[in-house]
Homo-oligomer: A and B are copies of this chain.
Amino acid sequence: MTVAGLLGALASPDPTPGGGTAAAIAGAMGTSLLVMVTGLAKSKSNTDDEKAALAGARAELEPITARLTQLADADTEAFNAVMAAYRLPKATDDEKAARSRAIQDGLRAATVVPLDTLRACAIAVDHGRAVAAHGNRSASSDVGVAIGLLKAAADGAAANVRINLTSLKDEVFRTATEDETTRVLSAATAAASDAMRAVAT
């Protein structure tokens, strides 16, 4: 898909692609910018440990871009499945029960996808701390943009988890997912603050 096509699809009144997809793509852009900085020639410092930290971050970050691109598509598919479930017939009790199960299954998937997006962004921000600390100083604004996009993506993914959780009836799943969302988002927020401080120094 082209960038112009993605923007047009986001702007169209169809509910998909929506915020979950945009968040995943923003996270993928942030991750890509971090990968760029790990590939720049001059790092802030030249110790072997610091070079190894940058190389390690690069190896971890590279697959996350592809993962977030997949999750961008998966978010659209999951939400389409929820909408299809809502359109199922509900004339008989059997149909009502089947429709309700399909909606609940769909919502569960539509919750798991943005939670995975949140997790991927949190891992990228975590490695972003090493990039901020040891990356080429001339690219500090690139690192700042990357961390800002990953933080916005993590916030957006968490909002998508939570809005879908509200309609889920499985209370055990709901509580576990809410706890996990809070935990991962807190970790991502803290790591983003660390990275932003390192960029500024």
Tell me the A residues contacting B by CB distance below 8 Å. 1-4, 6-8, 10-15, 18-20, 22-23, 25-26, 28-33, 35-36, 39-41, 62, 65, 69, 139-146, 148-149, 151-152, 155-156, 159-160, 162-163
Contact = CB atoms under 8 A, between A and B. Distances in A.
Contact of A69 (B4, B15, B139, B162): B4
B141 A156 contact: yes
A101 B140 CA distance: 25
A172 to B, nearest CB: 23
B149 A151 contact: no
B26 A10 contact: no
A77 B28 CA distance: 22
A66 to B, nearest CB: 9
Stoichiometry (number of copies): 2
A164 to B, nearest CB: 9
Contact of A13 (B12, B19, B40): B40
A145 B160 contact: yes
B39 A13 contact: yes
A160 B151 CA distance: 18
Contacts of A35: 10-11
Contacts of A3: 1-3, 6, 25, 69
Given A3-B69, A7-B69, A29-B7, A15 B151 contact: no
A149 B23 CA distance: 8
